[in-house]
């Protein structure tokens, strides 16, 4: 199990293998192409790098710009059957203009004008919404109307019908997260149109899923079968905020509760299993005390953050990016990053970690501790 001591000049070695340029070799490569073949030795470095070498790049999108463009879309582009959603995808600059925030994840700002309805449909792709500001929209998931308010995480797991309607005269915007790029790339997607309108225009404060499932440590006897995705349609801000507050208070009392000093965090989970909310997407919420800087981490898999409240920065691969409310950023696989809090700093996070863990590709490297 020894490893070589000196770095290998791959280009040179591969040149040896390919560079003869003899007529026979030229003919061989022509024949490969004609037979739909492609030799490994000409492209090993690209295909099998020493560590993940993502084409996706780190990038920050400013909420002020996102919101302004979404608003203009609201004025110019109708929402309805066919286009389905007024959703504007974040297109990673390294991924050739495709609407992929990373190779696996879709992230978008969605905008719904006053009194508008986005029609119902369902798809194999898993989806969620997170609300950084505003209220007044209900999303109807398999007939269950779910209120959307600031700080809430709303789920529409694969193959659940869903539509949205704005009860107010004011527009509302939020972010959508899905596994569209992964599904597209691996040919797993199904899609079906539903009602042109939502199937229930009721506007209850709490969805039926919440009323059945949002009681800590209690499981309804009518729901003893485990489910692939969480039966909770909405994770309310009130609970998230309280959980984070308690972690920091416990830390003040000298108790183990936070992930690192000054850094509280919760994962949204499926109460039937304690695991991730959906099979492909992890969702978390992080809170830093003012002045805290997290340890620098690298992780296999890609992750997206949105600032929920507060000011701070993210250091990605050595470059510092200032952040304020609503700003979104993506960190590709194995790129080192850390967060810095100027004020109390609240961030929503989602990632493809369940994919990595279920397929046993997950690795984490933590460079150091807190300052």
* Residues 294-353 within binding reach of its own copies (CB under 8 A): 300-302, 332-334, 352
Q: How many other C-beta atoms can be found within 10 angstroms of the C-beta atom of residue 80?
A: 14
Residue 220 sits in the site that holds its own copies (CB under 8 A): yes
Instruction: State which of residues 115, 203, 215, 322 lies at the interface with its own copies (CB under 8 A).
Output: 215
What is the three-class DSSP state of 69?
A: helix
Structure tokens at 5: 């001591």
Instruction: State which of residues 138, 174, 235, 308 lies at the interface with its own copies (CB under 8 A).
Output: 235
Instruction: State which of residues 187, 205, 252, 368 lies at the interface with its own copies (CB under 8 A).
Output: 187
Q: Is 5 exposed, middle or buried (CB count within 10 Å of its CB: 0-12, 13-18, 19+)?
A: exposed
- If the CB atoms of residues 27 and 322 are measured against its own copies, the closer one turns out to be 27
- If the CB atoms of residues 40 and 368 are measured against its own copies, the closer one turns out to be 40
Please provide residue 322's backbone torsions phi and psi, each rounded to the nearest 5 degrees: -70, 145
Residue 129 sits in the site that holds its own copies (CB under 8 A): no
CA of 290: how far to CAs of 23, 158, 293, 340, 365, in Å?
Answer: 68, 38, 9, 8, 25
Instruction: State which of residues 133, 150, 250, 342 lies at the interface with its own copies (CB under 8 A).
Output: 250
| Minimal distance, residue 148 CB to its own copies, in Å | 16
Residue 271 sits in the site that holds its own copies (CB under 8 A): yes
| Minimal distance, residue 310 CB to its own copies, in Å | 19
Residue 366 sits in the site that holds its own copies (CB under 8 A): no
Give the residue from 166, 31, 149, 140 showing the smallest Cα distance to 86: 166
| Minimal distance, residue 143 CB to its own copies, in Å | 7
Residue 135 sits in the site that holds its own copies (CB under 8 A): no
Q: Which residues between 85 and 104 bind its own copies (CB under 8 A)? A: 85-93, 97-99, 103-104
What are the residues whose beta carbons fall under 8 Å from the beta carbon of 66, sequence distance 6 or more? 88, 109, 326, 328
* 267 φψ region: left (φ > 0), alpha (ψ -120 to 50), beta (else): beta
What are the residues whose beta carbons fall under 8 Å from the beta carbon of 370, sequence distance 6 or more? 260, 261, 262, 263, 292, 293, 294, 295
| Minimal distance, residue 170 CB to its own copies, in Å | 21
Instruction: State which of residues 67, 150, 168, 228 lies at the interface with its own copies (CB under 8 A).
Output: 228
The rounded distance, in Å, linking the Cα atoms of 220 and 208 is 13
Residue 212 sits in the site that holds its own copies (CB under 8 A): yes
Residue 108 sits in the site that holds its own copies (CB under 8 A): yes
User: Torsion angle, CA of 289/148/207/119, rounded to 10 degrees?
Assistant: -150
Q: Which stretch binds its own copies (CB under 8 A): 166-174, 210-218, 303-311, 338-346?
A: 210-218
The rounded distance, in Å, linking the Cα atoms of 262 and 152 is 23
Instruction: State which of residues 268, 337, 345, 350 lies at the interface with its own copies (CB under 8 A).
Output: 268
Binding mask 147-186 for its own copies (x = CB under 8 A): -----------x--x------------------x-xxxxx
- If the CB atoms of residues 17 and 319 are measured against its own copies, the closer one turns out to be 17
| Minimal distance, residue 203 CB to its own copies, in Å | 15
Structure tokens at 343: 């004020």
Number of residues near its own copies (by CB under 8 A): 157
Instruction: State which of residues 115, 211, 365, 371 lies at the interface with its own copies (CB under 8 A).
Output: 211
Q: What is the DSSP letter of 296?
A: P
Structure tokens at 318: 């050595």
Q: How many other C-beta atoms can be found within 10 angstroms of the C-beta atom of residue 267?
A: 14
Q: Which stretch binds its own copies (CB under 8 A): 128-136, 164-172, 339-347, 354-362?
A: 354-362
Residue 35 sits in the site that holds its own copies (CB under 8 A): yes
Residue 49 sits in the site that holds its own copies (CB under 8 A): yes
What are the residues whose beta carbons fall under 8 Å from the beta carbon of 80, sequence distance 6 or more? 119, 196
């Amino acid at each position: 199990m020894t490893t070589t001591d000196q770095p290998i000049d791959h280009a040179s070695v591969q040149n040896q293998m390919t560079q003869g340029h003899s007529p026979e070799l030229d003919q061989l490569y022509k024949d490969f192409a004609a037979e739909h073949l492609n030799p490994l030795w000409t492209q090993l470095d690209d295909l099998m790098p020493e560590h993940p070498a993502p084409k996706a790049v780190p990038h920050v999108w400013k909420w002020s710009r996102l919101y302004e463009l979404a608003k203009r879309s609201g004025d110019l582009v109708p929402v309805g059957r066919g286009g389905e959603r007024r959703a504007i995808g974040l297109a990673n600059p390294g991924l050739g203009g495709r609407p992929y925030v990373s190779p696996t994840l879709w992230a978008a700002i969605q905008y719904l004008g006053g009194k508008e309805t986005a029609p119902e449909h369902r798809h194999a792709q898993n989806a969620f919404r997170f609300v950084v500001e505003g209220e007044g929209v209900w999303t109807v998931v398999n007939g269950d109307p779910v209120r959307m308010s600031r700080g809430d995480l709303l789920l529409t797991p694969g193959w659940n019908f869903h539509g949205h309607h704005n009860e107010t005269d004011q527009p509302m915007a939020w972010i959508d997260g899905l596994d569209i790029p992964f599904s597209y790339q691996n040919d797993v997607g199904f899609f079906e149109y539903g009602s042109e309108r939502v199937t229930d225009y009721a506007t209850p404060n709490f969805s039926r899923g919440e009323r059945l499932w949002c009681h800590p440590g209690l499981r309804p006897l009518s729901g003893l079968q485990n489910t692939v995705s969480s039966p909770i349609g909405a994770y309310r801000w009130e609970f998230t905020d309280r959980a984070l507050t308690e972690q920091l208070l416990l830390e003040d009392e000298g108790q183990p509760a936070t992930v690192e000093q000054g850094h509280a965090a919760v994962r949204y989970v499926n109460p039937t299993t304690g695991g991730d909310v959906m099979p492909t997407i992890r969702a978390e919420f992080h809170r830093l005390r003012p002045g805290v800087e997290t340890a620098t981490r690298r992780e296999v898999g890609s992750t997206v953050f949105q600032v929920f409240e507060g000011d701070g920065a993210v250091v990605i691969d050595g470059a510092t990016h200032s952040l304020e409310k609503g700003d979104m950023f993506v960190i590709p696989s194995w790129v080192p990053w850390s967060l810095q809090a100027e004020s109390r700093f609240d961030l929503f996070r989602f990632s493809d970690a369940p994919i990595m863990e279920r397929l046993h590709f997950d690795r984490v490297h933590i460079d150091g501790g807190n300052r």
